[in-house]
Amino acid sequence: MKNALLEKAFEQIDAANAQDPTIELYQNVSFPKELLYSDRMYGQLLKFEADATEEIKIACKAQHICRWKIARDSYPLDRVGYLKWREELKKFHANTTANILESVGYDATFIDRVRFLIEKKQLKKDSGTQLLEDVICLVFLEFYLDDFVQKHDREKMKNIILKTWNKMSDKGHQYALTLPYSVPNLELIKEAIGA
């Protein structure tokens, strides 16, 4: 990564996410939760679409920037509350990232594109938004599926997997089936998608 602006943006995104008070243990190392998520998003992007645009790279890194600042329980704990929380988060992530990009010297057109991507506008129509969504789904399947499997029954899990699958592109589907799952999780995925 030779681009000076991109390096500065990544440094600030990482610094912001490093303040996450929630710590996650991965391979016996402690990480701030959203910093780990950010690194997983960027790593998955580079494996899935190595020549992604700079805007996509930043959108991936900043997808959950400072997410802990808007708690889920600050909204009603029902479906409507959940959807409102998710919408507010998208705007918050987009605005937080836009402020960073402006501070390091990106122009308004570039910033608007990153904001568009983080807000996940025109999913299935915009190739950049679709790429970001594919990476989000791949990161969920590779790193977070196990946690969900332990919390939900089989039918609920099949529903979650199918909803995830339906957000992805054909390329995303093909790649998802190559990820390193446990045998039971791979069987669950295949059952959910009818493969």
Alpha-carbon span 54 to 49, nearest angstrom: 12
Q: Write out pLDDT tens, residues 7-55.
A: 999 999 999 999 999 999 999 999 999 999 999 999 999 999 999 999 9
Q: Write out pLDDT tens, residues 9-20.
A: 999 999 999 999
Alpha-carbon span 150 to 32, nearest angstrom: 22
The closest of 98, 1, 94 to 43, measured between CA atoms, is 1
Residues in CB range of 117: below 8 A, 6 or more apart: 55, 56, 59, 128, 129, 132
* pTM of this structure: 0.94
- Token digits of residue 70: 């808007």
- At position 138, the amino acid (one-letter code) is L
- Burial environment of residue 194 by CB neighbours within 10 A (0 to 12, 13 to 18, 19 or more): exposed
Which band of pLDDT confidence, cut at 50, 70 and 90, is reported for residue 1?
A: very low
Collapsing DSSP states into helix, strand and coil, what is residue 15?
A: helix
Report CA 148 to chain centroid distance, whole Å.
Answer: 16
Alpha-carbon span 131 to 46, nearest angstrom: 12
- Token digits of residue 52: 């992604």
Q: Write out pLDDT tens, residues 164-186.
A: 999 999 999 999 999 999 999 99
Collapsing DSSP states into helix, strand and coil, what is residue 30?
A: strand
Q: Write out pLDDT tens, residues 86-121.
A: 999 999 999 999 999 999 999 999 999 999 999 999
- Token digits of residue 46: 């580079």
Residue 50 has a pLDDT of 92
